[in-house]
Amino acid sequence: MNDVLVHKGMNRKVKRVLGAVGIYCILLVVCAIFLFPCLWLILSSFSSTGSLYDVPGFFPESYSFDAFIKLFTDTSNYNYPKWLLNTLVIAVFNCIFSTMLIIGTAYVISYFQFKSRRGLMKSALVLSMFPSFMGMTVIYILMTQFNFVNNIWGLVLIYSCTAPLGYLVQKGFFDTIPQSIYEAAKIDGATNARIFTTITLPLAKPIIVYTALTSFAWPWSDFILPKLLLIEKDNWTVAVGLMQLGQNEFARFAAGSVFIAIPIVVLYFFLVKYMVNGMTSGAVKG
Amino acid sequence: MKRAFRRLGTKISDSWTNFINFFKVANVNVKASMGLMGLGQFMYRQVGRGIMYLGVEILGILFFAIYGFQWLIGLFTLGTVQGDPWTGKDGDNSVIFMLLGLMSLILLILFITLYISNIRDVSRTSKLVLKGEKPKNFREDLKDLLDKKFYKTVLFLPLLGTIVFSVLPIVFMILIAFTNYGDPIIPPVLVDWVGMENFVRIFSMGDIGPTFFKILGWNILWAIATTLLNYVLGLLLAILLNKKIVKGKFFWRLFPILAYAIPGFITLTAFKFMFAQGGPINNMITSNGGDPIPFLTKDGTWWARGIGLLINAWLTVPSVMLLATGILSNINNDLYEAAKIDGASSMRQFKDITLPFVVFATTPTLITSFIGNFNNFGVFYFLRSTITSDGYFVSNDTDLLINWLYRLSIDKQYYSIGAAISLIIFIITSSISLIIYVKSPAYKKEDTFR
């Protein structure tokens, strides 16, 4: 009788340990799957031979900083420093303009109850359902008609002007600011503009930071629009430029990628909490 | 359908009688503004408003007399004079004609809106005066722009930007779908309206039809398969990481987040290299005496499709995991406590508490991710955009509609066919999401959480 009970308890314990081991094994495999391509890229960027073909397996046989040095010094064919500069300029200005427009739109849609509000929200929804580069092909056609291609300011303009359509996450944030905060200021006779600058904006700091960082990060990873509009090599962004590197330039591609991916990854680790909030608010609001 | 028309009919007649009634009770000032914009405002001594409305009318009429009317006609004719680069003769540029016509159409709508707002404005003032209040002067108007009407001030730029860079291009594209614009008919050759011809060409069994249906079939299969795969894997990963037994959750989550954070074009290019004919995987196979596998080459249809599926999972599972983690942390713990007391097994708890809750909370995102995947441009653009398969019109057997659209309009300049296809994509995706959005309780009760 007693033996059976002990045996049963043992059994359960063994089961639990086995379960834990199983779970950790699965986790290890999952992490390996996610880590492996990144590791491959990082190690390849330190490969001393540049081409993809020279390596018998995944990992290079000897390591050096050649790819990085070439990336920044050998600019005759692939001007990586110039691409970095272009992308930086686009990112900085897009960050400024987009953030202003998105925050303004989200605040207004959340705070004011004006007549066409519902209509505007519905139109934004419908607009977002069109395939994203349906408009881009038109912009491309028009830009070629007006000889406005090859201009990074055109890109800044298009990015910032289309940004306000993505206002929903920010609106979700403004929705959480209780109206009672505003009521007090109103009784004191403050105008809406004053309330916005002195009360709303300071309260909205986290979402402003989030918006600024995401719109700063976007030009680093977007490739469709810049590839359409920037034709000359010296006007390329990093994304367009790196895409052009063939298998013979694999180490250079890896080096260039690692160089821009590291800051973006660090950025995302900081932002991940906001991102989850944004996504879950999207889940509830539809 | 009939009822809808009847309802529309009564609505129109209602608004007509409303208008007649409005006209009957309107005072002299309102009628003055109907005749000449701003006149009524002048009669109320609202000089600032009066000047602005009058200015709008003068500028509007001048604009339409000199350019706008011609431009509007140009929208219908799309140019009549064929240019000739050999003799140096300047012809009409149909695309510019279309653009200018569209712009003057938008300006016309704006003008009519301003005209109506002018009447509304003066009749509002007349009501104020009837109540014995003073009409607002210009300084008060300006003050309002920073207070009651602050939303107008703030929304002006975003609206303008959206209209110019989102609405205008989309309307333009819709128009192009009904023309024959595209190689070889590109300015200076004149473009013409062709009605539904492009759509007929897509749906009929000529050169484009068979490709369209093949791609559509694969596109639907792809969207369903990849959405389900990512959803299930992401959910499983989140549930796994949520288990009490797992220590160091933050550490384990770092790896998926790493994959999530790297810009997509980097990972996709890297994967393309990895599976390339001379890439590391095939390198290892050949050095061990095997034949290289045609992962992404012309013959590798199902290899490429499978690899695309897995790569997309690598890219999107992390975001599903993050989302599901957020939702899992929202489940009320009491439910589990109660289940434990009732002696429910952990399997049972999962089936009856965790799963229904998560599925319920993520359904809307499941739909959006379905649509996102339906239009997933990146994966096959990076993996196989240089390949053209036999029996496919400017595309290959892994291309989705959106990839095909890109190749048709950017690589080959078949703009009108591309536009028609993007309209079809829009109709498919919007009808799916419309049904969901309208039916989802979250949408109906948007404001109840405030």
For A176, B125, B126, B135, B141, the CA distances from B130, given in Å and listed in that order, are: 41, 9, 6, 10, 20
Contacts of B443 in chain A (CB under 8 A): 285-286
Tell me what pLDDT residue A282 has: 46
By 3-state DSSP, what share of chain B in percent is helix, strand and coil, each rounded to 5? 70, 0, 25
Q: Which amino acid is at B55?
A: G
For the domain covering B202-444, report its CATH number: 1.10.3720.10
Query: pLDDT value at position A80?
Result: 92
Q: Would you place residue B299 in the very low, low, confident or very high pLDDT band (cuts 50, 70, 90)?
A: confident
| B33 has pLDDT over 50 | yes
- Select the residue from B165, B246, B449 to test the A interface by mutation, using most A Cβ atoms within 10 A: B165
pLDDT of residue A285: 37
Q: Using CB atoms and an 8 Å cut-off, which of residues 25-64 of chain B contact chain A?
A: none
Considering the domain architecture, whether residues A144 and A234 belong to the same structural domain is answered as: yes
> pLDDT tens across B328-355, in order?
877 777 888 888 888 888 788 888 888 8
Instruction: Please answer yes or no on whether B318 and A34 come within 8 Å at the CB atom.
Output: yes
- Across the interface, whether the CB atoms of A131 and B425 are under 8 A apart is answered yes
Tokens encoding B350: 């999962």
Do A218 and A96 share a domain, yes or no?
Answer: yes
A282 is a domain residue: no
Domain boundaries, chain B: 28-195, 202-444
B343–chain A nearest CA distance, Å: 16
- CA separation, residue B387 to residues A227, B291, B297, B382 (Å): 19, 21, 8, 11
| End residue of a domain, out of A244, A261, A278 | A244
State both tokens at B385: 């955009």
Contacts of A107 in chain B (CB under 8 A): 154
Q: Are residues A60 and A81 in the same domain?
A: no
pLDDT tens track for A60-82: 878 888 889 888 988 888 899 99
Q: Choose the closest CB to A105 out of B155, B270, B325.
A: B155
A59 and A32 fall within a common domain: yes
Looking at the fold, whether A83 and A144 belong to one and the same domain comes out as yes
Whose structure tokens read 């046989």?
A: A61
Q: At residue B179, what are phi and psi to the nearest 5 degrees?
A: -120, 180
Nearest to A265 among B170, B261, B402 (CB): B261
Determine the Cα–Cα distance for residues B165 and B281; give it in Å rounded to an integer: 44
Contact assessment for residue B331 and residue B353, using Cβ atoms and an 8 Å cutoff: yes
How many percent of chain B have pLDDT more than 70? 96
- Is A109 in the same domain as A46? no
The model's pLDDT over B172-223, given as tens digits with 9 standing for 90+, comes to 989 999 999 988 888 778 888 998 999 999 998 888 889 999 999 999 999 9
DSSP B329-382: TTS-HHHHHHHHHTT--HHHHIIIIIHHHHHHHHHHHHHHHHHHHHT--HHHHH
CA-to-CA dists, residue B242 to A152, A230, A267, angstroms: 45, 46, 24
Question: Domain span at residue A47?
Answer: 2-66
Q: What's the number of domains chain A is made of?
A: 2
Is A262 among the domain residues? no
Residues A86 and A201 in one domain: yes
| CATH label of the domain that carries residue A114 | 1.10.3720.10
Cis bond upstream, residue B135 (ω within 30):
no
| Same-domain pairing of A25 and A81 | no
Please indicate, yes or no, whether residues A108 and A233 belong to a single structural domain of this protein.
Answer: yes
Q: Is A119 on the interface with B (CB under 8 A)?
A: no
Q: Which residues of A touch B162 (CB under 8 A)?
A: 124, 127, 161-162, 164-165
The alpha-carbon radius of gyration of chain B (Å, integer) is 30
Assign B288 a pLDDT band (cuts: 50, 70, 90): confident
Positions of chain A with pLDDT under 50: 1, 282-286
CA distances from A89 to A189, A239, B21, B280 (A): 42, 14, 59, 36
Taking CB atoms and an 8 Å cutoff, what residues of chain B touch A115? Answer: none
Are A267 and B262 within 8 A, CB to CB?
no
Residue of B nearest to A247 (CA): B273
B368 touches chain A (CB under 8 A): yes
Q: Is residue A271 part of a domain?
A: no
Sign of the CA dihedral running A162, A167, A168, A170: positive
Q: Are residues A182 and A157 in the same domain?
A: yes
What are B67-110's pLDDT values in tens digits? Answer: 999 999 988 888 888 777 777 777 788 888 888 899 899 999 99
Domain match, A26 and A90 both: no
The winner for highest mean pLDDT among B228-232, B243-247, B436-440 is B228-232
**Helix intervals (H) in B44-136:** 47-63, 69-77, 94-130
Binding-face residues of A in 56-85 toward B, CB within 8 A = 56-58
Domain boundary among the residues A244, A262, A280 is at A244
For residues A120 and A128, give the distance between their C-alpha atoms in angstroms, rounded to a whole number: 12
- Inspect the interface and report whether the beta carbons of B443 and A286 lie closer than 8 Å: yes
Q: Which two tokens stand for residue B421?
A: 């296809």
Task: Summarize pLDDT for B135-155 with one digit per residue, the tens.
Answer: 888 888 888 888 888 998 999
Structure tokens at B357: 């809750």
State the pTM of this model: 0.85
Residue A223, domain member (yes or no): yes
The answer to whether the CB of B428 falls within 8 A of the CB of B374 is yes
| Residue A72 within any structural domain of the chain | no
> Do A127 and A229 lie in a common domain?
yes
d(CA A265, CA A253): 17
